[in-house]
Homo-oligomer: A and B are copies of this chain.
Amino acid sequence: MPFHKETFDRIPQEKRDHIFTIAVSEFAQRGYAAASINGIARKAGISIGSMYSYFDSKEDLFLAIVDKGYELLERVFRELSREGSFRQQLLELLHTALRYARQHPDMNNLYLGVMTEELAPLSMRLSSRVEKVSVNYYHHMLQAAVNRGELRADLDIPLAAYLMDNNVLMLQLACSSGYHRYRLQHFVGERAENLEQLANSLCDLIMRCLQ
């Protein structure tokens, strides 16, 4: 079930983290195909042989780190507050997304690769943990707000969730990805330099759809 071998569980946490950090950076910056296991091993200061004693293949190493990223993302979602007004929750979500992207830019960019058709065969080996968690989060958050009368009763909740996530995702990517930052600039000019402020405005705009 896990993508790493048992040997990997037996090495110090610190070493595990180091390997992951290097691997995330390589995969995120070079892409799956162009990243090299040998290069990751070298940069991580371990031998190729060890690498293959931790992971069966390049594919597994990749899936292991994506999975680890999913775990992290899940935790982030779970730690989001379930209280306060809907607007407050949405604001928290947006700012948390930005904070996550700033703290883990490589991990964030890794998803750009996962979204690619190239990695579709790999993605199929991943559980849809994050999607389930996030969709759930959105649905509950919206439903609760409707119930509280904060949002209109006839709101198309699934679609609203989708719209919200689309915009959160794009803002988050603008933090770490050259292309998405560039795209955002084309739309909002120098306002792209202050993503937190932009998040506030985006919150206002999104709220309108929902009320």
Contact = CB atoms under 8 A, between A and B. Distances in A.
A189 B132 CA distance: 12
Contacts of A202: 159, 163
A203 to B, nearest CB: 11
Interface string A176-202: 011110111011110100000010011
A33 interface: yes
A117 B123 contact: no
B117 A205 contact: no
A112 B111 CA distance: 11
A170 interface: yes
Interface stretch (A8-16, A24-32, A74-82): A24-32
A6 interface: no
Contact of A117 (B33, B109, B162): B109
A123 B163 contact: no
A205 B32 CA distance: 37
Contacts of A131: 182-183, 186
Contacts of A208: 208-210
11 contacts: A30-B118, A109-B117, A117-B179, A158-B191, A159-B198, A163-B167, A163-B206, A165-B187, A166-B170, A205-B209, A208-B210
Interface of A: 28-34, 109, 112-120, 123, 128, 131-132, 135, 138, 156, 158-163, 165-167, 170, 177-180, 182-184, 186-189, 191, 198, 201-202, 204-206, 208-210
